[in-house]
Copies of this chain bind each other. A is one copy, B any other.
Amino acid sequence: MTSPKNTTDAETCPAQALLKSLSGKYKPEIFRLALEGPLRFSGLLRQLSGANKQSLSLALKAMEEDGLLERIVIQIKPLHIEYTLTEKGQSLIPVFKQLEHLG
């Protein structure tokens, strides 16, 4: 649909892009938990009280596509899946640490 491409440089602001990547009911908390260490699917289901598989699955996929999380298959049986912060995700740690000192 060849939209008129309003070049208000809105789309190229990395902070804004990040905010959108972390928009959603569970993403902020998933991200916070990821700062503490690798995450597993069933563990998250327990920690995010109220969350359901579907929503969690979608949130993890979106965060993976946005380059914040990496999905790693641990090849010991039974298979485990770990979600860990990518380099990009880790680069945000100092930013969030800074936020904690504002409150």
Q: Decide: A99 and B18 in contact? CB cutoff 8 A.
A: yes
- Binary interface encoding of chain A residues 23-56 relative to chain B, with 1 for a CB under 8 A from any of its CBs, else 0: 1100111011000100000000001010000000
Name the B residues within 8 Å of A91 (CB-CB).
102
Type the 1/0 row for A1-23, where 1 means its CB is closer than 8 Å to any CB of B: 00000101010011111111011
Q: How many copies of this chain are found per oligomer?
A: 2
Q: Shortest beta-carbon distance, A42 to chain B, in Å?
A: 17
Q: How large is the interface on A (under 10, 10 to 19, 20 to 34, 35 or more residues)?
A: 20 to 34
Residues of A that sit less than 8 Å from B by CB: 6, 8, 10, 13-20, 22-24, 27-29, 31-32, 36, 47, 49, 91-92, 94-96, 98-100, 102-103
